[in-house]
Amino acid sequence: MSKRSDIIDGNRAVTEKYGLVYTELLGWIDLGHAQGNDIRHLFSQISQGEASGEEYYTIRYSQGMTGLLRQIRVGSVLTWQIRSGRDYFERQRIALAMMMAVTHQFESFQASFPNKLVTDSGFSGEDLVSNLLGFYRVISNYDPLLMLRPVSKEDALARWDYYGKIGNWKNKKFQPLLFPDPKKSIHRQPFLGELPEFMKRVVPYNNFFSDDVIRSGENDKKFMVLGAGSNRMGL
């Protein structure tokens, strides 16, 4: 759940692991979501599976949150069977598809009753694009965050104070929710923008009619107690 106190200056966006920044091209970004550690772990699973020599290998991806004094974690999990022999680009497509599917499941869980009574995190305007940015930060040869034109802390605070907290603005799409500068724009209404071109390079895998990817863990998408922990992403 993003707070006003999480906002940091845009020139720290690349070096900080946590915090909230506003960017001209992608809107609000939660740097915790955008680290990409979950994606690195997912690619590591795929690489190990490809090297295993097995015809099929199993990969598991999850997202979760901690509650009850940080003693219990609940979340969403998918487990897929992958046929060995996937090339580098197809591995990217598979990882992206898993991340997108679990993100929607987990955000729906947070937005459901009774969770929505205690948190505004479900489909909060920054969540989906931040997760997607984390994916592209992992697969890129450079950190693309500065290309998104992060603004100063003063300008970010001005947007927060004018439009209200980002948790009040919901976004169920992997598209940026943009908030015009209230000091400069005549039309002061949030709107869905377009992703920058570098964030359109990978198309999520969808060829589930073949036997190359078998969604064997569809039952895992039910939310479950996963044990104690502290990280929101990549359980």
Cα separation, 108 vs 126, whole angstroms: 15
Q: Which residues of the chain have pLDDT under 70?
A: 65-74, 111-122, 217-235
Cα separation, 144 vs 142, whole angstroms: 6
Domain ranges, ordered by start, for the chain: 4-224
Distance of CA 178 to the CA centre of its chain: 17
Contacts of 185 (CB under 8 A, 6+ apart): none
Q: What integer pLDDT is reported at residue 179 of this predicted model?
A: 96
Tokens for 63? Answer: 């997202």
Burial of 25 (0-12, 13-18, 19+ CB in 10 A): middle
Cα separation, 161 vs 164, whole angstroms: 5
Cβ atoms of 96 and 134 within 8 Å: the answer is no
Q: Nearest to residue 206, comparing CAs of 96, 104, 42, 103? A: 96
Cα separation, 181 vs 167, whole angstroms: 18
Residues in the chain: 235
Cβ atoms of 119 and 110 within 8 Å: the answer is yes
Return the DSSP state at 220.
Answer: G
Q: How many CA atoms lie within 13 A of 133 on its CB side?
A: 30
Cβ atoms of 68 and 177 within 8 Å: the answer is no
Cβ atoms of 175 and 156 within 8 Å: the answer is no
CA distances from 178 to 26, 171, 189 (A): 7, 11, 9
Tokens for 145? Answer: 């965050």
∠ CA(167), CA(92), CA(196), 5° rounding? 50
